[in-house]
Amino acid sequence: MELKLIGPHPLGRDALGRQTTRIGTLFPKYGVLYTQSPEVHAWQRAQFVEYLNDQRASQGLPSLTVDEEVAVSMESVDLIFEPDFILIRPDPERMELAFAADELLLGLVSKRQVKFMTVSDARVHEAIKRRGEYWRLNAIPRNREAKQRLVFGSKVAISGLPLYFYNRLTGTRWLTFHEFELLGRLDDAVLAQHLQEIADYSSRRNRRGRAELDFFAAEPERFDAEEFAGPNYAGLPVVELRATYERIKSRFHAALDEAFRRDDCGDRAWCERMLSTLFLEGNDTQSEHLLDGLSREFFLQVDWLAGGRFEEGEFLLDSVFEEAAAHPEDAELQRLCDLRAKGIIFNLIRDYGDIEYINLGCVPESLSLDRPLRRGRRGVYLAEFCAQSDGDPVKRHMRLQKWGVWERLDEGKELLEAIQLSDEYTDYCLDRRLGCNQLGMNLSHRVVIRRLNEIYQGLNVRYRGLLIRTTYFEREYVPGIATDKLPIDRFSRPGYAVALARLLGHAAASSLVVGRLSEGGRALFDDGDEVVFEDGDGLPSQILATDHTGAFAEFKLPLDTYATDYARPVNRRKGYVPDALAFAQAYLTAFREQLLRVQGDYRKRRNAFDHLFKESKYDPGGSFAYRWECVLKRVDSTNVAALVEAIRREMQPLDQVAVAAAPIPELAALKP
C-alpha cells in the first residue's frame, strides 16, 4: 500500500529552515499520514474522522458511527518529527500497528530515519529486540552540545507561540516559568489567548492518561492546573486580565526553586532536570533494562548496528543494506551497515544454527579516556542473541585483532608476508594470555578465535578489492562494573571499601608482574579492563580482568619504576572512602601477598615456568619467549618489601600507612 500524505512532509522545512510540522498521526488501515495542524494528536485524529466522513458523504454513504470513529482513533499511531528523524510512539498492546506504520513510512523516507520510542515498556522492548532492531531505538545524545540542541529543539506550539517543551515519550508539554513570565510582554489579546490555551490543555489528559500540559519543576501541591480554572480569559477586562496573570505568575514563581526560574542549559541543575523531564522519564533506553545485565558504562557507549531478523528459521538481512550498497558514498549509512558486523552475525548463525534473534553493536576500543589508539585497529563489538536450544539470551564480546592482514598490507607488505605476520601476531596474543594466566591474572575463562571476510580498501593499491581474512577474538560478556566506574555511593556500604581494596591490591600485583603498559608508556591498571563482581550482600567478591591489553609490553625495567602508577588506585579514592588509611593498608597488604605468592609459585616450579615457551621462537628483539624469560627473572629478583615501600611512599599524604611485614606462613619456606 502506498502511503498518502495529508499535510506537509514530516521532514519538510520552511524558507527559514524551520520544521513545518512536529507531529503526525498515521492510520495504517487507510494508508494515510495526517500532519496538518494543530500539532495535537487528538485533534489530528478528530480531523481525520471528519475527513473520512466528508469522503463518505461525497460517495453517498452515511457518516461513521460512534463506535467506528472510536475504532479509527484506536487504530492510529502517534508520530513525532525531529529535524532528520520520524519517531514512532507505539502502543505496547498494539505493536502490530507500530510495525505496520513503520512499513508504510519506508515508502516515504529512508529506514534509518524512522526510530522507535517508549522502549521502557517490556512489550515494546521485547518486540523490537526480536526483530534484531536495537539500532532503531531512539536514544539521547552523549555530548553536552547535542543535549542542549535536543532540549531547545523540543519546543512546540499548540495554536499560538512555541512555548512548551515537549516530552515525546508521554505526550506532555511542559511550560517553564521563564516562558510564562515572557507572556507578560505580549499584547492583551495574545496574552488572553495563551492563558486560555494553558487553562484548556493543563486540565486534559491524553489517551495514555498523561497531562496534555504541565508545569516544569513546580511542586504539584503548590501549583497546578487549578490556578487557571474559571475565567474566560478573552472576556476579561484588561485590568482584571493583567491582575490575574500577575497573581498566577507569583504563585508559579513561589512553587519553584531558584535554579528553575530561568531557562538556562548552561546551568547544570536546570539542564539535568529538563533532560530528565523530557527524555529520561520512563525512558529506559538509558538504563540496564535495554539489555539485561549490560553494565551502564558499556550501554551508554553502544552504537547498535543494522543486522536482520529471522522468520520461520530463515535469516533476512535488513533491507537497509540494500540502501547502503546503492550509496557507497554515504559514510553514515556505511557505518550503520558495518560489513564486519555482518560477518560476525553470519559466524554466530553458523555456530548456533537455531538462533531466534541477534542484536549487535559496536563499542569503543576502550572506555578509558587515557588510552587512545595510536596504531593498528581494535574494533570492539557486543552481541546479544537467543538460540532456541538455550532459551536464555546469550551475550558475546568480540574484539578485532589489532594487527591483521589489512594493517600489514597498509605497511606495504606483500600478501603472503601480511598473512604470515598476522598469524604470528595471533599466536603472540594467545601466548600473552597463557602467560598472564600462569602469573596469576584472573582472566575471563574462555576466548575463541574467529575469522571473517572483508574486502581490502586500504593504502596498498596493489591489493585493493581483494577479499582478505580478518581475525577477531570472541569471549563471554562480563556483566560486572569496571573498577574505575564504580558509583561513589557504593563506598558508603559497610565493609565495601576495604573489600574492594583487597581485590584491587591482588589484581594490581598480577598486572604489574606481567608489565601491562600503554603505547604512551603508562602502566595499565584500574582504567576500564578490571571488572568488579558483587556478592549477594552487595559487597565486592571478585575482580576479573576482561582484557590483557599491553601485557608483556614492559619486560626489562624494575617493577618499582611504576610505583606511582600502582599507588594511583588508592590516591584517586582517598577523598570518598570512609577510612583512607584502612583502604591503603588493605590494598598494600593484598598487593604484597599476591606478589609473594607469584614469586613463590615460580621458585617452587621454576623448571615448569622456564620451559613453558621453550619451543617458541626466541629473539632478543622482542619475541614472546624472550619477554617471558625476562619477566620471570624480574619477578624472581624483586625485593617485595622494597617494592611495597616504594608504592607506599607515593601514597601521599597517606604517610601513616603501615604494611604488615610478617611473611605469609605458607610462603615462608620459599623465600630466598
Helices (H), 131-222: 144-152, 177-182, 188-202
Angle at 78 between CA 74 and CA 82, to 5 degrees: 175
Q: How many domains does the chain have?
A: 4
In a domain, 129, yes or no: no
pLDDT of residue 667: 41
In a domain? residue 201: yes
Does any domain span residue 128? Answer: no
291 falls within a domain = no
Query: With contact defined as beta carbons under 8 Å apart, do 308 and 318 qualify?
Result: yes
CB 648 within 8 A of CB 657: yes
Q: Give me the pLDDT at residue 312, please.
A: 84
Query: In this structure, what C-alpha cell is assigned to residue 498?
Result: 576495604
pLDDT digits (tens, 9 = 90+) for 406-428: 999 999 999 999 999 999 999 99
Phi first, then psi, for residue 281 (nearest 5°) are: -65, 105
Could you say which of 459, 476, 493 is where a domain stops?
476
* Whether residues 501 and 642 fall in one domain: yes
| Weakly modelled stretches of the chain, pLDDT under 70 | 118-120, 138-144, 280-301, 364-376, 378, 653-672
Same domain, 310 and 451: yes
Residue 122 located in a structural domain: no
Task: Please measure the distance between the N-terminal and C-terminal CA atoms of the chain and give it in whole angstroms.
Answer: 84
Question: How far does CA 268 lie from the centroid of its chain?
Answer: 21
- Same domain for 456 and 489? no
Domain that includes residue 236, residue range: 144-280
Are 485 and 472 found together in one domain?
Answer: no
pLDDT value of position 142: 53
Which residues make beta-bridge pairs with 211? 205
Residues 540, 413 share a domain: no
Same domain for 389 and 356, yes or no, is yes
Q: What are phi and psi of 215, to 5 degrees?
A: -115, 115
Query: Letter for the amino acid at 650?
Result: E
- Partners of 474 in the β-ladder: 398, 448
Of 68, 102, 117, which residue sits at a domain end? 117
Please indicate, yes or no, if residue 123 is contained in any of the structural domains.
no
Whether residue 54 contacts residue 127, with contact meaning beta carbons closer than 8 Å, is answered with no
Same domain, 492 and 608: yes
Residue 308 inside a domain? The answer is: yes
Q: Say if 634 falls within a structural domain.
A: yes
Among 117, 133, 161, the domain-final residue is 117
DSSP state of 8: S
Which CATH number does the domain housing residue 552 bear?
A: 1.10.1070
175 in the same domain as 240: yes
- 138 within 8 A of 116, measured Cβ to Cβ: yes
- The verdict on 451 and 574 lying in the same domain is no
State whether residue 305 is helix, strand or coil: strand
User: Domain check: are 454 and 534 in the same one?
Assistant: no
Same domain, residue pair 345 and 393? yes
Among candidate residues 444, 450, 492, the one with its CA nearest the CA of residue 472: 450
Residues 6+ apart with CB under 8 A from 413: 421, 460
Q: Cell 526553586 identifies what position? A: 257
234 plus 352 within the same structural domain:
no
